[in-house]
Homo-oligomer: A and B are copies of this chain.
Amino acid sequence: MDVYISGVGMTKFGRSKDPLERMMTEAATLALKDAQLERVDAIYIGVMNVEEFIGDSNFATLLADTIGLVGIPSTRVETASSTGAGVFETAFYAVASGHMKDVLVLAGEKMTHLPTAKTTRILSEVIDRSERRYGATMPALAAMIAQKYAQAFDLSPMKLEDILAQVAIKNHSNGSLNPYAQFRKIITKEDYLKSQMVSYPLRLYDCAPITDGASAIILTSHPTSVKVSGIGHATDTSAVRHRSTFTSFNSTKEAASKAYTMAQLNPSDIQFAEVHDAFTLFEIIGTEDLGFFPSGEGWKALEKGATQIQGNLPINPSGGLKSRGHPVGASGLAQLVEIVYQLRGEAGEMRQLGRAEVGLAHSIGGLGNNNLVTILERSDRKRAMKEGWKPGYHPEIKVAKRDTVPPPAEGIGLLETFTILYATPEGFRSPLTLGFVKIKGAEMVMACNPDYRSPKELKMRKRVYFKTREGLYVFEKFNLWNRLKRWFKK
């Protein structure tokens, strides 16, 4: 059964004094009004971690009551930071099954009321325990990926900085046109360069902010102006270091492949997209993984202006997570709300795209391991059907081949990538140097380094000496001293 969208709504994103259930009620009320509905058959609630952010459990029930829909079945759904997209997918199947006619999808998160180090700790719990115990945060892992991307595609530190700044500048510019955005100010390259380092090479302006907000969509089996054309969902390894590539996300590629197939569309059919830019580089990787640009060339399209709001393929016309804000549970659904505004021609004079018949949303859960791709389309869009659909998306998916040999307690390895983390979570000293160390014939390890403080002192793909201290791997420069020490131990 086909599934359509009959209503959307969202709160302004930002810092709010309202409790989460009030924000979510506001979004739900707007969506119900938009759909001209008073009742629905079911409610699906997307929140990532209300348990720790606000100390509540049984939140789906609380919401049904708060909205004034006591009795209606209400289910909470969670897929880490892609929760907003995950709850939309779940509700989609409920309507597609024919068992539900009208369903409210409601997502939100309340984050700004806690100290940043605590919020950072809570957000870090989406990271695999084996990496989190080193103090790794989401920005730290994203920074290590940025280092790999720059190395793989021969970008100098200055070039990388320039590209990342361009993403931030573009998305802030778009966000300045969006009344729902947390940040409505344009930023310059100078502003970007002045912003503090969060985890080298990523600055504050490379990271989506901490945000409160809620978004809502009504799904229906009754035809409306906007149709859900395709949905794809895939996971990847829990630990980042277990993957075979650090410059793209398998889970995006597999999700995109499913979404394009369900929609019988190809990347070239997509007219605009909301791409998960929790970190600036992720927007570039996202546009490559989705098949818009070849691998390693997303930044070239950005430089040419293709992804600008006036470009051929506008990316994040809403301002993205970077500028609209990132209430973790709500973002995936807010992307879809933006696409509906665009498809309906309701995005406002300044932000409205000229050609808006097919839009795609891409949402990343965790550090790229629970991703979703959703394609929405105007129901009146004419499709060229003369020869049927031919798949035009053939991404290279490198499946992780995990070495089953456990790593030794001490030895020599290759520093695969590293970062210096300044914004550490609760319980960790700042700065904190973290790296992945590749060991011949054994599983790659995460390791920390208590000494190095400057990124210039470390080099990627150089040999390092690693040992174990209090159950953690520690790496050091490989030099005569530890070479000798090692030799003597033999």
Please list the residues of chain A having a beta carbon within 8 angstroms of any beta carbon in chain B.
1, 42, 48-49, 51-52, 55-58, 60-62, 64-66, 70-80, 86, 89-90, 92-94, 96-100, 122, 125-129, 233-239, 250-251, 254-255, 262, 365-366, 369-370, 399-400
Q: Shortest beta-carbon distance, A209 to chain B, in Å?
A: 19
Contact A79 B60 (CB under 8 A): yes
| Complex CA–CA separation, A365 to B58 (angstroms) | 8
* Copies of this chain per assembly: 2
| Complex CA–CA separation, A99 to B56 (angstroms) | 33
Q: Please judge, given known A-B contacts A74-B370, A90-B75, whether A56 and B129 are in contact too, CB under 8 Å.
A: yes
Contact A238 B99 (CB under 8 A): no
| Complex CA–CA separation, A1 to B96 (angstroms) | 10
Which chain B residues lie closer than 8 Å to A400 at the CB level?
Answer: 70
CB-defined A-B contacts under 8 Å, sample of 15? A1-B97, A55-B125, A56-B125, A57-B125, A57-B126, A58-B79, A58-B369, A61-B236, A62-B238, A64-B235, A70-B399, A73-B255, A76-B78, A77-B90, A78-B78
| Complex CA–CA separation, A353 to B235 (angstroms) | 41
Contact A125 B58 (CB under 8 A): yes
Partner of A76, one of B79, B122, B237: B79
| Complex CA–CA separation, A78 to B57 (angstroms) | 9
Contact A61 B80 (CB under 8 A): yes
Which chain B residues lie closer than 8 Å to A42 at the CB level?
Answer: 233
Which chain B residues lie closer than 8 Å to A122 at the CB level?
Answer: 57
Most chain B C-beta atoms within 10 Å of own C-beta, residue among A1, A70, A76, A369: A70
Contact B70 A236 (CB under 8 A): yes
Contact B234 A72 (CB under 8 A): yes
| Complex CA–CA separation, A128 to B237 (angstroms) | 37
Contact B52 A78 (CB under 8 A): no
| Complex CA–CA separation, A251 to B72 (angstroms) | 9
List 19 extra interface pairs beyond A70-B235, A71-B234, CB under 8 A.
A58-B369, A60-B78, A60-B79, A61-B365, A61-B366, A62-B128, A62-B238, A70-B400, A71-B236, A71-B251, A73-B235, A74-B79, A75-B77, A75-B78, A75-B79, A75-B86, A75-B89, A77-B90, A93-B99
7 closest residue pairs by CB, A with B: A73-B233, A58-B126, A96-B97, A51-B51, A57-B125, A58-B80, A65-B238
| Complex CA–CA separation, A370 to B62 (angstroms) | 10
Contact B370 A51 (CB under 8 A): no
Q: Shortest beta-carbon distance, A444 to chain B, in Å?
A: 15
| Complex CA–CA separation, A120 to B102 (angstroms) | 37
Q: Please judge, given known A-B contacts A57-B126, A73-B233, A90-B77, whether A66 and B238 are in contact too, CB under 8 Å.
A: yes
Q: Please judge, given known A-B contacts A55-B125, A125-B55, whether A254 and B93 are in contact too, CB under 8 Å.
A: no
Q: Shortest beta-carbon distance, A364 to chain B, in Å?
A: 11
Which chain B residues lie closer than 8 Å to A76 at the CB level?
Answer: 77-79
Contact B238 A370 (CB under 8 A): no
Which chain B residues lie closer than 8 Å to A251 at the CB level?
Answer: 71
